[in-house]
Amino acid sequence: MPPVIRFKKYLFIFFAFCAGILHCSCSHDRLSYLYTGLHEHKNEQKDLVALFEKEDEPQIRFALIDKIAAHLQAEHKIKSLAVFLQSVIDAEPDNPYNGYFLLRLAAAYRDVQEDAIAAYYFEYIVQNYSDMIVNGQSIHLLCLKNLIELSGTGTKSVVYYSRLLTDFYNEFDPAQAYFMLAQAYEKQGEWQLAIQAYTQFLNLHRFDVIIPGIPDSYGYARKIVDYSTSTKSWTFNTLDDLVKTIKAAIRARDYATLERCRSKVNFFAMSWKQELSDTQQQPDTNLRDFMYGSAISIASELDPSSTPYEAYLRTSGWNQYIRTWYLYFKKINFPADPTIHGRWEWAGIYYGEKI
């Protein structure tokens, strides 16, 4: 259990009692940089500095240092703050509060957008100081949260998210942490580790995790994990091979081939206006049910909106209230498995005329 610091009212009563005595009587030119140039807090800062020079009791001394630092930060005297806190740490290397003092300094640098310096101090604290609780918060947890914000999904974020999940599982959203850890591994090309982290995320059964740029985090993770465990037998080496096979199966009413060719990972059936996250993925319908009746017509060419990575084929005459379907083909982007990366799949169906 990390040590706990609690500010006590008597400390500030003590400050008030001593302030009047010391304000006029103490000379402290050595530390005048701590109040020189201040505006709103100058007089109070002089009193605090005078008390600081004379005080030996650890908790009161801690509170004085914290208040002096707060005034410097509030008036953006970052250089003075850095000199002051570093001098305290150098003079008292065994002070149990040094980790917190560096946290204050890191936060001050972040306030003025000196993110590289702030990140250095946040990481230094985690690596070199024991954790402690200040005002109800773990300083290591605060450091890790800041480091994650500063690093994004960079290389070091793997360490930070792993540390969160190991040390602060119940104090941070584990589902988000597992997903972001997987994202970091994915960005680094560590696909097996990414799949392990995505699997841990899926095991938490959280459908409400919001990730910027990924509207359906659960579906995203499910797709990657399912790709990794599936046979991939429905994929085709080229788009031309896939389209020829689909066309032949439709003309022959070979529903078995159509079922075999559709993707076994997140196959969807949706209208053009729906969001993918709202669709029925892997719809529980048999294509045979929609092939009775009049002949199904197939466009001779792919839709002009097709690209080198996705393609649309217009068909009509299906035995459904919406008789026009656009079959959607997609080039697979899954570097984790070179045997299917870059191959093509029939990924879904859009109902109705193209918007």
Cβ–Cβ under 8 Å, residues 293 and 319: yes
CB 142 within 8 A of CB 126: no
C-alpha distance from residue 155 to each of 5, 160, 192, 246 (Å)? 33, 10, 16, 43
- In which element (H, E) is residue 240 found? helix 239-251
Task: Identify the pLDDT of residue 278.
Answer: 56
Q: How distant is the alpha carbon of residue 140 from its chain centre?
A: 18
Q: Which residue type, as a one-letter code, is found at position 179? A: F
Q: What's the token pair of residue 207?
A: 């459908």
How far is the C-alpha of 14 from the C-alpha of 290, rounded, in Å? 84
Query: CA dihedral defined by 235, 238, 244, 247, rounded to 10 degrees?
Result: 50
Q: Domains in the chain and their CATH numbers?
A: 1-149 (no CATH), 152-229 (1.25.40), 245-351 (3.10.450)
Q: Strand 344-351 relative to strand 324-331: parallel, antiparallel, unpaired?
A: antiparallel
Position 18 scores a pLDDT of 43
Distance CA 120, CA 127 (A): 11
Residue 319 CA: distances (Å) to CA of 28, 79, 284, 289: 91, 75, 16, 7
* pTM, full prediction: 0.71
User: Of the candidates 318, 313, 324, which has an alpha carbon nearest to the alpha carbon of residue 351?
Assistant: 324
> How many CB atoms lie under 10 A from the CB of residue 114?
15
Any idea which residue has 């035995």 for tokens? 319
Q: How many CB atoms lie within 10 A of CB 354?
A: 12
R_g over Cα of the chain: 31
3-state secondary structure of 189: coil
Q: What are phi and psi of 247, to 5 degrees?
A: -60, -45
Longest dimension (CA), the chain: 103
Q: From the CB of residue 286, how many other CB atoms can be counted at a distance below 10 Å?
A: 11
Residues contacting residue 192 through CB under 8 Å, at least 6 positions apart:
336
Q: How far apart are CA 227 and CA 223, in angstroms?
A: 6
Q: How far is CA 80 from CA 52, 102, 174, 344, in A?
A: 16, 14, 39, 61
Tens of pLDDT, residue by residue, the chain (355 residues):
454 444 334 334 444 444 444 444 444 478 889 998 888 889 898 999 999 989 889 889 999 999 999 999 999 898 999 999 999 999 989 888 999 999 999 998 998 899 999 999 999 999 999 999 988 899 999 999 999 999 887 789 999 999 999 999 999 899 999 999 999 999 998 999 999 999 999 999 999 999 988 989 998 999 899 888 888 889 999 999 999 999 999 999 999 999 999 998 889 999 998 876 555 455 556 787 788 777 899 999 999 999 999 999 999 999 888 899 999 999 998 888 888 899 999 999 999 998 7
Amino acid 232: pLDDT: 82
The helix (H) or strand (E) run that includes residue 108 is: helix 98-111
The answer to whether 200 touches 170, Cβ cutoff 8 Å, is no
Tokens of 108: 């001050």
60, 3 Cβ separation under 8 angstroms: no
